[in-house]
Chains A and B, each alone.
Chain A
Amino acid sequence: MSLKSELHTHVASLRRYALVLTRDPVAADDLVQETLVKAIAKADTFQHGTDLRPWLFRILHNTHISDLRRAKTRADAAADLPDPLARDCQHTQLELKQVLGALDQLPEAQRMPIILVALREMSYAEAARTLDVPLGTFMSRLGRGRAALRRIVQGVASGKLTLMQRKEGDA
């Protein structure tokens, strides 16, 4: 694969990752642009033979973390799903809101491993390199994140069930 086509593939992946991180197509493209600008500035220090994908993802990851720190808080964009998703059926939208909403409640350290693995484009080792953490730490965060995600979603589901039962009782 030529460098150009390899880079094109990675940029498409960056857009996917950024979209899930930001939950906003415009903010996602801004994040990818900022990442590419930084990558261009750092290109002279890129080590020949280094894997390009983790390098780019690491820049995006660090840029995103910096943006979050600057903003102090993550934008509350739970309802602003990307347009293509909004056209999906209501059931899918609800599932999407539920899972992404639960994902938003996780600390970044757990959220990012889950997203990186869900992209299905990297091995655990590559994803760990992207986040600049040892593989063991990555696995630990992924596991804890998944467990926490499950608890949150189950909590939301049982809360909805209680609410429905209460409404039925009221009627």
Chain B
Amino acid sequence: MTKAEDREPVPDIDLMAYVDGTLPPEKVAEVEARLARDADARDAVAQWRHFDNVIHGAARSADAQPANLRIEALERQLAQKLQRRRRWAVLNGPGVRQIAASVVIFAAGWGAHAVYDRGASMVNGAYPAFVSQTLAGHYSYMLAAHESAEFPGDQMDDALAWLSAEMQQRIDSPQLERLGYQVESARLMVVDEVPVAVFYYRNPDDQRVTVSMTPREATQSDHALRVARVQDEHMAYWSSDSLNYVVVTSSEDVPITTLAAAVQR
């Protein structure tokens, strides 16, 4: 770019946005009024649109090019790598770490003190099914072997509908918003073919709460609300008619029983 060009005034940004269809609706009338009285602006808009259409048409001609097998193979390879990367990121994200932490708390709650040493044999031990699933999830986490799907916080309606369909029963929002938390994401983890719905919340003080739900087996015995604390984590777990619930947080501001009550409603 020459110095002379550098000194040139930049063409009107509103006019460019008008051409590109990005002008806010409230400004469109203003620009159109200007175009009605300014022949040069009108000419500029017409020419920019023409250039844009010609370049767009040239670009679109790529769609008529024959398929390129090498590109398709590279595309598949990249998709696989990105998928692995995404899975890795999910499994190493703060939410899953919190779940992993909750597993340790679970284990402690049932008097198991050697989770890591005894490994997967504990999964089928003398624990409630949903604890076993969570334990299995923990080992899957360590082995990066389970699948997941994630929805951002602004897609909760879609998330709840999808989670309900996947878990074959109605999944309601934990609704911790009334306690000042905002949902960050919802996720489905599949552990030993058992779906686990996980919701991640955070409040303005950056304190996080994780809520997980797993289907309750017909043969599973009832579990009343229990709370536990290991190191800095607080946890509550219980079962309803159809679901098992776990709430985990490191927050001291809101008691774990209050969080559990909010989820139980």
Contacts and interface: CB of A to CB of B under 8 A. Distances in A.
Interface of A: 3-4, 7-8, 11-12, 15-20, 25, 28-29, 32-33, 36-37, 39-40, 43-44, 46-49, 52, 81-82, 84-85, 92, 95-96, 99-100, 103, 107, 109-110, 114-115, 117-120, 123-124, 139-140, 142-144, 146-150, 153
A123 B52 CA distance: 15
Contacts of B82: 3, 7, 43, 46, 52
Interface of B: 1, 5, 8, 10-13, 16, 20, 22, 44, 47-48, 50-52, 54-65, 68, 70-71, 74-75, 77-79, 81-83, 85-86, 89-90, 93
Contact of A7 (B61, B79, B85): B79
Given A16-B60, A82-B58, A118-B59, A146 B48 contact: yes
A164 to B, nearest CB: 21
10 nearest A-B residue pairs (beta carbon): A48-B89, A118-B55, A36-B74, A16-B59, A43-B81, A143-B11, A143-B10, A84-B64, A19-B62, A99-B54
6 contacts: A19-B59, A33-B71, A43-B82, A99-B55, A117-B52, A146-B44
A8 B44 CA distance: 36
Contacts, number: 149
Nearest to A123: B22
Contact of A48 (B20, B54, B85): B85
Nearest to A142: B16
B62 A15 contact: yes
Contact of B78 (A43, A115, A119): A43
A161 to B, nearest CB: 16
A39 B83 CA distance: 13
